Amino acid sequence: MSIRDQIADLAFPNANIDMLQALEEKIATRNLAPGQMVTRMAPSPTGFVHLGSIYMGLINTTLARQSGGVCMLRIEDTDQKRQLDDGIAQILTAFHTLHIHFGEGPVLEGAEKGDFGPYIQSHRKDIYQAYAKALIRDGKAYPCFCSSEELDKVRDEQTLKKERTGYYGKYARCRDLSDAEILQKLQAGASFVVRIRSNGSHENRMDVKDIIRGTRSVPQNDMDAIIIKASDGLPTYHFAHVIDDHLMGTTHVLRGDEWFPSLPLHMEMFYIMGWKAPKYAHLSPIQKMDGTAKRKLSKRKDPEANIEFFLEQGYPVNAILEYLLNLANSDFEDWRKKNPALPLADFALDLKKTSPSGALFDLDKLNSISRRIISEYSNTEAYDLALAWAERFSPAFYPRMANEASYIKAILNIERENVRRRKDITRWGTLQDDISYFFDDLFTAPDLATVTGKNPDVLKAVLSGFMGALEHATDRDAWWEATKAATDAAGFCSDTKAYKANPDAFHGSIADFMKIVRLALIGREDSPDVHEIMMVMGLEKVKTRLAKHM
């Protein structure tokens, strides 16, 4: 056995290099047709699921689907200290709830899907170690025994000399240890990390390609980056993603732009492994305005960074997805205007049209999309979604939703079948408040004289006139004619033109008349169609409400 073999064996006694060939041969079984993309979403289970993760997951799955390829979910849990116990379940649940489905990867219950797993990195330790062992054997990587104190000292020295910090060149002490020294240290049981042996020079430049940013000339990598950590023998992100994206046949890596500076290192690692690198696209994180400045949505500061925030607020999933596509491609809005009825899946997402500087989060835009989407549901669809929301998020509203299903469906149906549908519901979280006036226990009659500033006799005349017209309530047209007559009889004006020509001659217009009616009836000045509201409420309730003020 050569000394190198002995070193490799001592470093990873249990790792089996021979198994790697079969794994590499497997890639060909993807049998991709030209243009088919294999993408992956690679979250770390270290905290709540970020809106940005959903955004990225949507882009990854959409591109794969459009190309006839596949998107995998890969759990990157190699930083064991930062893992949450239920981190993976949180990720799976969030993507499932948001209707983002992966062709391969772990699932909530049962065995993972796909032939290129395991898809949880901590379950692939033997693979990473076998590659590390082979690299050590071949002299392309080496064990490094530097303690953290020693590394700190080097960093201080570099800082003092105003040099780049890091483990490279002459500062990479262990890279020049002799095989005999390495063997001796390993035999003595010294703790070590494994580092890649860089062949690059910071003086030389290289071109890196990014689908969104184009080709950039950057200095080569010269860092001997850690590929296997000392603490648990698990790989670093750099190493794990290179191996996984190769073995899993990834064609396109879409990831956050914080990784863009690591691209020279990753390119060198693919080169050292003798593999072709996938294509890369680095997406800027979602931004928000903070005062007059843009900054990225912050996990700590912004509740809306957490996808759960939107679910809890009661935005329908389709609204969230449509909003995210809107953020991803600025021509989405035009497409939607031209194709109001097409499903989201028909929109052709184009990676090249994503903003390199970061899409700007805009709650008003989300609200307006959500109002439109809610307006497009049938009353039963809206009811079912609102019920599911209440079951999860509103113990106070849920019993009413469940027990008064037909009344609430009728409420939701108001102006829903019109050509211009009602767009007054923004999200399920405000639904109870939106419709509270239909329920006596949630309704407080306002003091009409105070809110309208009108003389009590005028108010009485309005309400009794309106009450009289209710006689025709079952025939909408007849009722409206009678209401107009009541308007004129109460000293208001049912003819808009006549009113505008001489406003001082009247107590107000018919709109003012109806405003008083609405206030008495529902406590609000604006509402959907009054006739429809009355028909749903029932005339008994209507009369009782009006009578209170007379």
Region near ligand GLU per CB under 6 A, out of 252-260, 425-433, 502-510, 535-543: 252-260
Helix (H, G, I), strand (E, B) or coil at 325: helix
Residue pair 200/220 in contact by the 8 Å Cβ criterion: yes
44 binds ligand GLU (CB under 6 A): yes
Structure tokens at 434: 């939106």
Region near ligand GLU per CB under 6 A, out of 185-193, 251-259, 351-359, 365-373: 251-259
Task: Name every residue whose Cβ is closer than 8 Å to that of residue 467 and which is 6 or more positions away in sequence.
Answer: 543, 546, 547, 550
103 binds ligand GLU (CB under 6 A): no
State the residue number with the nearest CB to ligand GLU: 255
Q: How far is the CB of 255 from ligand GLU (least distance, A)?
A: 3
Region near ligand GLU per CB under 6 A, out of 37-45, 219-227, 265-273, 377-385: 37-45
73 binds ligand GLU (CB under 6 A): no
Q: How far is the CB of 280 from ligand GLU (least distance, A)?
A: 9
Region near ligand GLU per CB under 6 A, out of 11-19, 39-47, 184-192, 276-284: 39-47
A 10 A CB-CB count for 331 gives 12
A 10 A CB-CB count for 366 gives 23
76 binds ligand GLU (CB under 6 A): yes
Region near ligand GLU per CB under 6 A, out of 36-44, 108-116, 141-149, 412-420: 36-44
Q: Comparing C-alpha atoms, which of 378, 377, 376, 441 is closest to residue 404?
A: 441
Q: How far is the CB of 43 from ligand GLU (least distance, A)?
A: 5
Which one, 141 or 242, has the nearer CB to ligand GLU? 242
Which one, 39 or 527, has the nearer CB to ligand GLU? 39
Q: How far is the CB of 263 from ligand GLU (least distance, A)?
A: 11
Q: How far is the CB of 55 from ligand GLU (least distance, A)?
A: 13
Which one, 75 or 461, has the nearer CB to ligand GLU? 75
Q: How far is the CB of 303 from ligand GLU (least distance, A)?
A: 21
A 10 A CB-CB count for 380 gives 12
Q: How far is the CB of 60 from ligand GLU (least distance, A)?
A: 9
Q: Comparing C-alpha atoms, which of 19, 104, 95, 59 is closest to residue 332?
A: 59
Residue pair 164/220 in contact by the 8 Å Cβ criterion: no
43 binds ligand GLU (CB under 6 A): yes
CA–CA gap between residue 218 and residue 221 (Å, rounded)? 9
CA count, 13 A, side-chain hemisphere, 57: 28
Q: How far is the CB of 56 from ligand GLU (least distance, A)?
A: 8
CA–CA gap between residue 425 and residue 411 (Å, rounded)? 12
Region near ligand GLU per CB under 6 A, out of 42-50, 111-119, 357-365, 366-374: 42-50
> What are the backbone angles phi and psi of residue 111, rounded to the nearest 5°?
-75, 150
Element (H, E) at 386: helix 379-393
CA–CA gap between residue 119 and residue 104 (Å, rounded)? 8
> Across the chain, which distance is largest between two alpha carbons, in Å?
110
CA–CA gap between residue 379 and residue 413 (Å, rounded)? 5
Helix (H, G, I), strand (E, B) or coil at 504: helix
Omega within 30 of 0 (cis) for the link into 118: yes
Q: How far is the first Cα of the chain from the last one, in angstroms, to the nearest whole number?
A: 105
Site for ligand GLU in 231-250 (CB under 6 A): 241
42 binds ligand GLU (CB under 6 A): yes
Sign of CA dihedral 289, 292, 296, 300: negative
Q: How far is the CB of 239 from ligand GLU (least distance, A)?
A: 12
Q: How far is the CB of 253 from ligand GLU (least distance, A)?
A: 6
169 binds ligand GLU (CB under 6 A): no
What is the contact mask toward ligand GLU in residues 114 to 153, using x (rule: CB under 6 A)? ----------------------------------------
Residue pair 307/53 in contact by the 8 Å Cβ criterion: yes
Total number of residues binding ligand GLU (CB under 6 A)? Answer: 9
Interaction site with ligand GLU (CB under 6 A): 42-44, 76, 241, 253, 255-256, 259
